[in-house]
């Protein structure tokens, strides 16, 4: 179990490191072994790590590709990453770690968003393209790994847990009465994108998010239909 988080300011105001640190600190229990921050202008990414595969510094996140154009935050496990790594090696890719995180990143370099169809596992991740100023996020087929977010015209904020979002924006502590009603009546919580908090959503299972910072556009779509 690890934790990912991020802030994108569509008004081009710089992300403050103290905000990312605050989000990371509130979910340190998810990743007590390591942590890292990436901030560039109006985007900030944070990661807390529970070391399972490759306990060395090679598994540190945020993780960059060789060109440092792409950076990834990854929470989860790709069960068939060894097989995928061999395929990529045969295509000429070289690996610096023994992590599935690096396999996910280089799979994205090779296949783009279609890389998701190659993975067998559970995940929530975000990949940022430094050149095109685009963020790609995705969640596994069954929604095992969490991904919560808030968006308005000025910001997109995401995290593995809801509490970090509330620390950044305390005004989000507004009860979503319809979801509370559904839970009390039917014990259902995952039938929609809505959460117990009115303005906080969760990325649905087998869904993806594409954010273009230059255009301040956000699109959310299914990448796989069960």
- Interatomic CA distance for residues 14 and 69, integer angstroms: 19
Residue pair 119/113 in contact (Cβ under 8 Å)? The answer is: no
Residue owning tokens 């154009």: 69
Residue owning tokens 């596994």: 140
Q: Cα–Cα–Cα angle for 72, 24, 85, nearest 5°?
A: 25
Q: Cα–Cα–Cα angle for 29, 201, 17, nearest 5°?
A: 50
In the chain, the N- to C-terminal Cα span, in Å, equals 25
- Interatomic CA distance for residues 133 and 125, integer angstroms: 17
- Interatomic CA distance for residues 200 and 14, integer angstroms: 23
| Alpha-carbon distances of 209 from 88, 89, 156, rounded to whole Å | 25, 28, 11
Whether 2 is catalytic is: yes
Residue pair 103/88 in contact (Cβ under 8 Å)? The answer is: yes
- Which of the residues are catalytic? 2
């Amino acid at each position: 179990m690890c934790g990912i988080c991020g802030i994108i300011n569509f008004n081009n105001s710089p992300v403050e490191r103290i905000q990312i640190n605050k989000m990371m600190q509130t979910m340190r229990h998810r990743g007590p072994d390591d942590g890292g921050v990436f901030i560039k202008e109006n985007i900030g990414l944070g990661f807390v790590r529970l070391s399972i595969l490759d306990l060395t510094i090679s598994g540190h996140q945020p993780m960059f590709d060789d060109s440092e154009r792409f950076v990834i935050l990854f929470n989860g496990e790709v069960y068939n990453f060894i097989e995928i790594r061999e395929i990529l090696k045969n295509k000429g890719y070289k690996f610096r770690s023994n992590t599935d995180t690096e396999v996910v990143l280089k799979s994205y370099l090779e296949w783009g968003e279609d890389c998701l169809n190659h993975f067998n596992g559970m995940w929530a991740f975000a990949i940022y393209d430094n050149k095109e100023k685009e963020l790609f996020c995705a969640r596994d087929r069954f929604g095992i790994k969490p991904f919560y977010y808030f968006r308005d015209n000025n910001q997109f904020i995401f995290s593995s847990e809801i509490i970090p979002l509330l620390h950044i924006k305390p005004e989000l502590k507004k009860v979503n009465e319809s979801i509370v009603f559904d839970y009390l009546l039917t014990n259902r919580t995952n039938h929609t994108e809505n959460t117990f908090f009115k303005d906080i959503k969760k990325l649905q299972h087998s869904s993806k998010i594409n954010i273009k910072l230059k255009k301040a556009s956000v699109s959310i779509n299914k990448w796989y239909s069960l």
